[in-house]
Amino acid sequence: MKSKTHRSPMRRYTTALLLLGGLFLISPLASAQLATCTGSEEYYVQWPKDGVPVWEMCFVTPENSSAADGSGLELREVYFGGYQVFERAHSPMLFADYSSSTCYRDWKDVLSNFLADNETIGGVMAEPTMPVETTCDLSQDPDIPVFNCPYATGRPGSDCFEGVAVQWEANQLILSTQYSAAWYKYESRAFFFDDGSIEFLFGFGNSDGTGSGTTHWHHNYWRLDFDIDGTSDNDQVFLNDTLQSTEFSDLRDATGGPMGGPVTWSVIDQASGRGYRLEPSANDYNLIHNESGSNYHEVDLMATQYHPGEFADNPDNFLSDCEMDETALVNGESLAGEDIVLYYMAGVKDTAGVDMMICKKAGPRLVPIGDWGPVTDVIFDSGSFE
């Protein structure tokens, strides 16, 4: 039984104009503010920046994020078109696994500065007028590190910023941050598009070349606590199109390698039919399953029942605890009519003498399913989705 406190899924309405094919359509949209950022370290953001929100959410900077040693960019109470999508979305598990048998369970709560001008909330938020550039964005040479911000780019050091950069683009909202575990610089970004789709992107960067002589792998695990429509006890999980009744773990494809048949997973509210389908990106398939042979990271996805305070496979974050223990999360509990949490792993390989210092990025895409109201009614009718 779930212990989270939830608001009614009933929406408040106002009248908005939507443009489709040169014609304005009058449609009801949910009015602000549904995401209630009541915590002292939670900050509200919506898209578009002004007027009726299509997206709204709270964000927490990495040093204030939940889970042992943090969870990077943390999003709470995420709404699309007036309906809740997530209660929380963050990355509480992060690993570095070396071919020399050295390995780390990295921390995710130490901010690292990156290029983002126009700081509007001190130490928390920037609203960039110039391109956001992280260590990962600029690490494109196989051998030469870019070191620290401002990375010899010619941009002023005053553009170096620690926190979350928020960008309001014509068709999307982008949140970006960077945090560090010693020499590693980890980029975390979230993209929220006007059609309801979401992309999470993680970049694995190295600031000074430490460890560059040893091939190694990085693995990041997102934790997606779905509360579709704001109700938490009637979500359903599908593997491809097959309903699952108990907790399970899975691979991205049938063979565990880049050439297998793709797999998707969906979380759908049983009452409304609204939901999201999680699809691996092309970059996610670049990592061969268990290529290191360490057996530390054996699964790509875990579907679990929500438990208060359960953010990872381990309540601690010991540096030398290299193995992600799926049995601590996936242990046969029911998924039928429960609050659902998905854990999704994306990883990269840095090969000594080949592409060690070139930063790689990976992460999933989530696509809306069902009727999310007048915004997606217009989009779906225009043929953007099947």
Q: Is the pLDDT of residue 226 over 60?
A: yes
- Mean pLDDT along residues 87-91: 98
Q: Is the pLDDT of residue 12 over 90?
A: no
pLDDT in tens, 285-310: 999 889 999 999 999 999 999 999 99
Res 22: pLDDT: 39
A 10 A CB-CB count for 22 gives 5
pLDDT in tens, 325-379: 999 999 999 999 899 999 999 999 999 999 999 999 999 999 999 999 876 443 4
- Mean pLDDT along residues 109-127: 97
Structure tokens at 304: 């679990």
pTM higher than 0.85, yes or no?
yes
74: Cα separation from own chain's centroid: 8
Closest by CA to 274, choosing from 229, 304, 239, 225, is 229
Produce one character per residue of 133-163: b if its CB has 16 or more CB atoms within 10 Å, e if not. bbbbbbbeeeeebbebbbbeeebeeebbbbb
Domain boundaries, the chain: 13-381
Identify the CATH assignment for 13-381 out of 1.20.58.220, 3.30.390.10, 2.70.98.20, 3.40.50.300.
2.70.98.20
Res 258: pLDDT: 56
Res 13: pLDDT: 40
> Rounded to whole angstroms, how far apart are CA atoms 125 and 49?
14
Q: Is the pLDDT of residue 4 over 80?
A: no
> Rounded to whole angstroms, how far apart are CA atoms 124 and 318?
28
Please state, rounded to an integer, the average pLDDT across all residues of the chain.
89
Res 6: pLDDT: 47
Position 259 confidence tier, pLDDT thresholds 50, 70, 90? low
Res 221: pLDDT: 98
- Mean pLDDT along residues 141-161: 97
